[in-house]
Amino acid sequence: MNFLSAFVTFENLHEVRRLCHWGPVIALSVIAVCSSMAILDSIIWYWPLDTTGGSINFIMLINWTVLILYNYFNAMFVGPGYIPLGWKPENQQDYQYLQFCRVCQGYKAPRSHHCRKCNRCVMKMDHHCPWINNCCGHQNHAYFTSFLLLAPLGCSHAAIIFIMTMYTQLYERISFGWSTVKIDMSAVRRFQPLMPFSVPAFAATLFALGLALGTTIAVGMLFFIQMKVILRNKTSIEAWIEEKAKDRIQYYQTEEEFIFPYDLGSRWQNFKQVFTWSGTPKGDGIEWPVHPKCHQHTLTIEQLKQKADKRVRSVQYRAVEDYNGACCPLSKGVHTFFRTPCTEEPRIPLSKGDTILATRGTNVLSLFLPSAGERIRGWFPRRCVEKCHYDTAASDTTSEKKLN
């Protein structure tokens, strides 16, 4: 009863709504199918519980499921940690080094970024993951990475069970012609299955095997990507910022030397910033240990330089066709329909004659619409606009700066 009371009064109980999204629905369905089929195949057709090996195998399958769900739900419900609304640095002189977030009505702390999905500034944001329907950041980075490790391990175990189940049950029925393959079938012949291995059971096992192998490959690749990020103490967003810093320095031929401030020089030290025995990552999400040649605002200063440079290098376009903001605009041609980016970026409706100041590429753009008086990020069909042949970006940038 006490446990139920604690659950009901849990301050983040409203976060349960995160389950109502295609990402968690698919992820939890895959976990449920692979886990349940592995358990059924083990105790009914392959490895009964009345043997020592069968009991150990069953316990391992249960442990995989519990550990995977534990880290998955922690990654989802603990969350990345958010910068307090209206946050300001203690030292007023630091205001000039930070970006201001209009949505949160506060300054963005170092390493934080605003997530449009969560509608908050996220501490040490790496990315917004649709599979957990939440951001991966400071507080849940360890849980998320542990889930990425445990899911392939559990699916690999389940895949072995599926393969052995199908092989042992079809051994007497189908001649595989594997004269060189010798598998001990004595343990299997000592017991009679509780029910025959029927065609539906075979189809379900084969389907679960496909899910398990696909998950092992896909999630395993994500795990290696995240470990690369953690060992460098560099988020995916920060890696992109570093690339743009090198591009900016090379473009303007400056003599600057950009040193990434959060790499502590040792993979072990970087690893311990995320993984701790207590499960709580080091730091408060506001201040961070930095490289000896850097300071707390090295990266934020570089971000401000890139933001100014982005405005300078912006290109002005004019809308020549109307676009209603459809997700897959078939009316704009088959070529546009099939090249529509598979992204959750918002679609930007356009009216003929709109002036657009593009500050990124031609697929996913950061735009300034003078008619709307605001900066909008998103996507629209390239055929709907044409590049202006006169240079008015400077005047538009001046008015844009007044809004920013």
Q: Are 299 and 241 in contact (CB under 8 A)?
A: yes
Residue 228 tokens read as 């690369």
All residues at 6 or more sequence positions from 43 whose CB lies less than 8 Å from its CB, including other chains: 49, 54, 58
End-to-end CA distance of the chain: 53
Supply 330's token pair. 């078939």
The answer to whether 375 and 307 have CB atoms below 8 angstroms apart is: no
Q: Which amino acid is at 122?
A: V
Q: Is the dihedral of CA 319, 322, 325, 328 positive or negative?
A: negative
Task: Return the bridge partners of 121, or none.
Answer: 114
What are the tokens at 284? Answer: 């408060």
CA distances to 11, 35, 38, 285, 368 from 83, rounded to whole Å, are 18, 37, 42, 8, 26
Closest CA to 42 of 175, 184, 208: 208
The residue ranges of DSSP E strands in 123-256, in sequence order, are: 127-129, 134-136
Radius of gyration of the chain (CA): 27
Contact between 377 and 344 (Cβ < 8 Å)? no
Q: Which of 129, 136, 155, 384 is catalytic?
A: 129
Known catalytic membership, residue 129: yes
Contact in structure between 135 and 118 (CB atoms under 8 Å):
yes
> What is the C-alpha to C-alpha distance for residues 255 and 78, in angstroms, rounded to an integer?
43
Residues labelled catalytic: 129
